[in-house]
Amino acid sequence: MSTSVDLSIRTLHLPQSGIKIHAIPTGTVSVKRSHRNKGWGMLQILADFRWTAPMPVYCWCIEHPEGVLLFDTGENAKVVQADYFDCDSTTGWVNRKILHFEQTESMELAARLAEIGLKPQEVRWVCLSHLHIDHVDGLAAFPQAEVLVNHTEWQHPYGAVKCLLPNWLQPHLIRHHNSDHRFLSKRYVLTDARDIS
């Protein structure tokens, strides 16, 4: 694992609400430099020989009085195996060419949760921002959780390697609603207290 990247877990404790928010890195990823530039096409990205420095692959864990929520699930240690993407010859080949992961079992989300005293079976919800591998590859450790995915992302994922998703996955498809929240024009309210959306 890269020693130049800080992979410590950061925690924000909000004692009056009973909420803890953990920023949890689950390994690192390097991408082609052109990948980070808007407007570059896939052929340009594939042809680029320059890589970024390793960047943390973050997940977020919210300990809430109504239950534990994960926002994304990071990577798993299998991603560094040469045959990991073989289930999808096209998207898998592209991912292999444009992403370079540093990952070990000790950096998987389930192992990182143990560092903050949580077990995978304590997770009530998993919200997936989108279906790229670095956001969903830790999902297999949470079969008991309710998994939430935006209905549009589930029906039309871009760049997802769907054959790597767990066979048991039947996500709760959500739609974001108009909101009068001062920062969010659309949102999906998750908790009864209406403090997590």
Q: For residue 72, is it within any domain?
A: yes
Q: Give me the pLDDT at residue 41, please.
A: 85
Q: What is the CATH number of the domain that holds 63?
A: 3.60.15.10
How many of the other CB atoms lie within 10 Å of CB of 183?
6
Q: Give me the pLDDT at residue 107, please.
A: 97
Q: Give me the pLDDT at residue 88, please.
A: 86
Task: State the total domains in the chain.
Answer: 1
d(CA 177, CA 186): 5
Q: For residue 194, is it within any domain?
A: no
Nearest alpha-carbon partner for 120 in 129, 107, 111: 111
Q: Give me the pLDDT at residue 1, please.
A: 54
DSSP reduced 3-state for 144: coil
Q: Give me the pLDDT at residue 3, please.
A: 54
Q: For residue 172, is it within any domain?
A: yes
- H/E stretch holding 34 reads none
Q: Give me the pLDDT at residue 92, please.
A: 85
DSSP reduced 3-state for 191: coil
Q: Report CA Rg, the chain.
A: 17
Nearest alpha-carbon partner for 113 in 73, 170, 155, 56: 73
Task: Let me know if 176 is exposed, middle or buried by CB neighbors in 10 A (0-12, 13-18, 19+).
Answer: middle
Model confidence at 179: pLDDT above 80: no
pLDDT in tens, 4-46: 899 999 999 999 999 999 999 999 999 999 988 777 788 898 9
Q: Give me the pLDDT at residue 19, please.
A: 97
Model confidence at 178: pLDDT above 60: yes
pLDDT in tens, 124-163: 999 999 999 999 999 999 999 999 999 999 999 988 999 9
pLDDT in tens, 65-121: 999 999 999 999 999 998 998 888 888 888 889 999 999 999 999 999 999 999 999
d(CA 94, CA 87): 13
CB 101 within 8 A of CB 28: yes
Q: What is the DSSP letter of 153?
A: H
**Residue 79 lies in domain:** 10-187
